[in-house]
Amino acid sequence: MRLIYAVQFRVDPVQPGHGMDVPQSARAMACAWISKWYKSRKDLDVTVPESSLAIEPIPGHKIQVASQSTVGGEWLWEVGWTYPGDPDPSLMWHSTCIVASKGSHTEVSITVRIASPAYVISPLYFVLKRPQIVKSLAESFVCTLGGRSVLSGPQPVGLEDVGSLVEYLRSEDRCRPVVLFSREPFSEKCLASPARCADSLVGLADVFVMNDKWVSFQLTDMLGRDLSCFNGSVRTYWPKMSATPSPSLHRRLSEHEVQRIAVSDEAFASYMLRRIAPLSAYRFTELPITKEVRAALVSEGQVESLRLKKQIEAGSAEKGQLEKDVLGVIEANDALRAKLKDAEKDRDDAQLRVLELDEELRLLKENLAEIGKYRETNQQGSDDRAIDDDDPDPKSVLDALVVASRKCSDRLHIWESARDAATDSRFRRPVDVYRALVAIAEVAKEYHDSRTARRSMGPIDQAFEKRGLKYSPGESQNTMNMYGKDRVFSNAGERRQFVRHLTLGGGDRENCAQIYFELHESNGKAIIAYCGLHLPYYGMRT
């Protein structure tokens, strides 16, 4: 049988110390999971055995339960459930749930395998879905893996959360991938459903969703553009990110790819499950408590075998009890041998697939290298670089001004003085200028809408602050007395003084930029009168 899906985690009660029997509760949930399936799919009332027993609810279906314990109190309960596939009955599905407990520690694993009972060379057709029990466990207990909770829904990321998210992405202890959703910058909506995706990936991945584009900007500042996520794209960050920082390994699905895949919320969630579930199968190995309990059971079995051998040699064994004990040992050994055989087959399948993936990765790297060479050749000798409005990466302040004016043409009126200042600016982070201009366009719309509706939008400084920007409504009197003429800007023969501005960067004037603007109440536009080097001010160092 080929393993295609695997999740496992430690299980603890939501309220410790309330006398909850966690192992027995987890076992009961596994039994209920199978019983509910037969009731909803076959309209059958099926009771799953609690102790070691095998039943056949209907022809072709088999449920086998094994329950073992040691004299030290360790306990291992396992249910294996085999049934024909739907819509392809030529495939057999085998789902397994294992509950292992030792002292106060409990672990649960759920695996899904498929097999073909006959040698038929034909395409496989099956739809993989998350077993219902996985979400039931995550909602009923405190489930953890690698010290981090297994959650059943997406986690929101605000500006204040970006630092902790980046720390988690770079953590060496992280053992699950992170799937990060960004928002389309103007509708502020995700292009696929984070909730549906998180539901499918419970136990397999942590799903996060950024609150707005300003969070994307902050993430870009901390991770760099090549590893960031923005404009409605979705990115998967694999574990051990510090050891594998290459952006191509942590693939970002662009907004266009997301829209193409997400013909429905279910379609995108299914796509992500098909990407991640096979890796959970190839990487599957039992958790420490489960391994320790298995080892204890094997050790006690060996001791029991030795005891029987001595009784036989001494002639002191009672015939009826001896036959029963021997049969029990034989059955236990047969079960262990069968598990070992399955494990070896899974290992061989995994090694073969790793070789296939290595070859695919080699070809992918070669293709990426060729694409890089093509881009370099295409860009040599051309100063008129095209700027992608949907995925802006401005190389200068003038670039930022141009793309923002196109993107927000209905909200921004760029003056000639702003273009002249941008041309002369040497500010090293033009993408920050682009973000600030987009923020001004948004605030201009909010300002206009609030005036039209005769309601308050709140303080303007707070509107910019929530976007991570430093806003000033005016200048000090000393600055205006000394440098007021520097704040008079022009466009098509019109000259006017502006004092409202945003300041970007810090340290000195070369590493700072300023944008002077005014909001129009009547048409909802913002005039951008200046965009460039930090203007002189009272008290500045010379």
Last residue of a domain, one of 241, 262, 286: 286
CA 450 to chain centre: 37
* Among candidate residues 235, 269, 286, the one where a domain is terminated: 286
Domain that holds residue 126: 1-145
Task: Indicate if 58 and 190 belong to the same structural domain.
Answer: no
382 within some domain: no
Provide the percentage of residues in the chain whose pLDDT is more than 90. 59
Looking at the predicted structure, is the pLDDT value of residue 426 above 90? no
In a domain, 299, yes or no: no
Checking if the pLDDT of 387 tops 50, the result is no
pLDDT over threshold 70, residue 353? no
User: At 74, which CATH number?
Assistant: 3.30.530
Q: How far apart are CA 536 and CA 450, in angstroms?
A: 34
How confident is the model at residue 453, as a pLDDT? Answer: 87
Residue 389 covered by a domain: no
Asked if residue 137 and residue 171 are part of one domain, the reply reads: no
Q: How many domains does the chain have?
A: 4
- Dump pLDDT digits (tens) for 18-32: 667 999 999 999 999
Indicate whether 3 and 127 sit together in one domain: yes
The domain that holds 186 is classified in CATH as 3.40.30
Same domain, 264 and 181: yes
Q: Could you tell me if 103 and 172 lie in one domain?
A: no
Average of per-residue pLDDT values in the chain: 85
Report d(CA 341, CA 343) in Å as an integer. Answer: 5
> Is residue 413 domain-shared with residue 516, that is, in the same domain?
yes
pLDDT band at 78 (very low <50, low <70, confident <90, very high): very high
* DSSP string computed for 286-330: --HHHHHHHHHHHHHHHHHHHHHHHHHHHT---HHHHHHHHHHHH
- CA 120, CA 122: separation in Å to the nearest integer? 6
- Picking from 252, 253, 257, the residue whose alpha carbon sits closest to that of residue 227 is 252
In-domain check, residue 266? yes
Clarify whether residues 1 and 118 are in a common domain. yes
Tell me, yes or no, whether 307 lies in a domain: no
Q: Which of 440, 435, 427, 436 is nearest to 396 (CA)?
A: 427
What is the tens place of the pLDDT at every residue in 157-198? Answer: 999 999 999 999 999 999 999 999 999 888 889 999 999 999
For residue 514, tell me if it sits in a domain: yes
Q: Are residues 140 and 3 in the same domain?
A: yes
Task: Answer yes or no: is 385 within a domain.
Answer: no
56 and 94 together in one domain: yes
Q: Is 540 domain-assigned? A: no
pTM of the model: 0.72
Residue 10 in this model has a pLDDT that exceeds 90: yes
Q: Which two tokens stand for residue 157?
A: 């990321």
Q: Judge if 353 and 440 occupy the same domain.
A: no
Among candidate residues 339, 374, 409, the one where a domain is terminated: 374
- Over residues 48-52, the mean pLDDT reads 90
Count of CA atoms in the C-beta half-sphere (13 A) of 431: 13
Q: Both 368 and 406 in a single domain?
A: no
137 and 162 housed in the same domain? no
